Amino acid sequence: MKNDPVKVGVIGVGHLGQHHAKHYKNLSDCDMIGIFDVNDTQSTRISRKYNIPSYRTLESLINKIDAVSIVTPTKHHSSVAKLCIERGKHVFIEKPITQTLDQADKLLKIAKQKNVLIQVGHIERLNPALTALKPYSINPKFIELQRLAPYTSRGTDVPVVLDKMIHDIDILLSLVHSPVKAIQAKGLSILTNSVDVAHARIRFENGTVASIMSSRIAKNDVRKIKLFQRELYATIDLFAHTTEVYRVLENEKQGNPSALIEPFHYDEKSLYISYEKPILEKTDLLKVELKNFISSIIGTETSIVSGVEGRDALQVALKIQNKIIQDLH
Ligand code: NAD
């Protein structure tokens, strides 16, 4: 039996939220009911642009929907999400889930009581440059993650660790399945009164070490990962959407047919290095992410990034941020 379409809304239709509204309008299995934004001019503009009803109050939109994307600045995620969850609505919250761990834990608790879904917008998990690693047996021992972005005032309600670095923290936690053992961090303010550049060294209980660097003051966007493990080295460019994997093979027949294979000698053994650069398909990641949210509500898929995973990434981000603040004082 076919489910009724999920009635969906979007709260906050600024830079990113308008794209949520646009995609819901075109997705199957959902009805785009309307948008709400505290900025009337913005909500009227987006309402006209995409021919979507604009609601004058949050309450009037909530009354009409089953599920909602929350795409307000981060400082409002907690209060808006709490209201929606208490009213039994499924919520897609843009990253980071909230500003504090206490807020995230409260949302998770109420969502459990109300039996509603929380999904978090850590969209990089869908990046084809990252998903290209799936065919390989990934068990990193050292990872370097770098994210630089030109300055924009959007996102400056929180430090760079919660705005930019949290993407890489979420990726890291999805690759290293071990608890965090120790964190060292350093950061500084350049343009804002908050931390604009941050570096963290994270050691996991299984011995893996990660080095993460993020800056919101840069000339160009850079989003790169270098991953090292026994007999494998991968470079991932999340911005250019490219992945390159080098592997050691004992036998040239072990390589994939598409790989370039070069012999080398080590310790009186003849070995091979295979180089693979998978061809990655370009897709609209936000569309895929929101489709997954609707399918998770219906029960045909599971959420790519759950509320708990969003909370876990926030926990590590806040530990890094606290270390930076301690170091600054
Ligand atoms: P933005 O400032 O462009 O838009 C936010 C909108 O929310 C504005 O139109 C504002 O008027 C509205 N708003 C503010 N408070 C509100 C409230 N209480 N109720 C309803 N509307 C409210 O910001 P943005 O760049 O679109 O970012 C929004 C969120 O999306 C942030 O949490 C940010 O971290 C996240 N984000 C995620 C990604 C990603 O890669 N996943 C990228 C950009 C932004």
Tens of pLDDT, residue by residue over 51-97, are 999 999 999 999 999 999 999 999 999 999 999 999 999 999 999 99
Report whether pLDDT(2) > 90.
no
User: Which among 215, 203, 230 has a CA at the least distance from the CA of 159?
Assistant: 215
Q: Which residue has the CA at smallest separation from atom 40 of ligand 1?
A: 123
- Whether 80 is in the pocket of ligand 1, judged by its Cβ within 6 Å, is yes
- Whether 296 is in the pocket of ligand 1, judged by its Cβ within 6 Å, is no
Residue 157: predicted pLDDT? 87
Q: Are the CB atoms for 206 and 153 separated by under 8 Å? A: no
Cβ within 8 Å of residue 145, ≥6 positions away: 168, 171, 172, 210, 211, 212, 213, 224, 225
Report whether pLDDT(3) > 80.
no
Residue 155: predicted pLDDT? 85
Report whether pLDDT(1) > 70.
no
Tens of pLDDT, residue by residue over 181-199, are 999 999 999 999 999 999 9
Q: Could you tell me the pTM of the whole model?
A: 0.96
Q: Which atom of ligand 1 is nearest the CA belonging to 123?
A: 41
Report whether pLDDT(234) > 80.
yes
Residue 312: predicted pLDDT? 98
Tens of pLDDT, residue by residue over 5-54, are 999 999 999 999 999 999 999 999 999 999 999 999 999 999 999 999 99
Tens of pLDDT, residue by residue over 109-166, are 999 999 999 999 999 999 999 999 999 999 999 999 999 999 999 988 899 999 999 9
DSSP 8-state class, residue 164: I
Q: Point out which residues pair with 54 in neighbouring strands.
A: 35
Look-up of token digits 């009354």: 63
In angstroms, the CA 197 to CA 188 distance is: 6
Residue 180: predicted pLDDT? 97
Residue 122: predicted pLDDT? 98
In angstroms, the CA 250 to CA 163 distance is: 43
- Ligand 1 mutation pick, 79, 154, 238, max ligand atoms within 8 A of CB: 154
- Ligand 1 mutation pick, 22, 37, 77, 97, max ligand atoms within 8 A of CB: 37
Instruction: Tell me which of 119-128, 165-174, 251-260, 314-323 is least confident.
Output: 251-260
- Whether 72 is in the pocket of ligand 1, judged by its Cβ within 6 Å, is yes
In angstroms, the CA 96 to CA 41 distance is: 26
Cβ within 8 Å of residue 209, ≥6 positions away: 141, 142, 143, 201, 202, 203
User: Which among 256, 254, 249, 263 has a CA at the least distance from the CA of 277?
Assistant: 256
The kind and range of the H/E element at 50 are helix 40-50
Mean pLDDT of 293-307: 97
**Phi and psi of 110, rounded to 5°?**
-65, -40
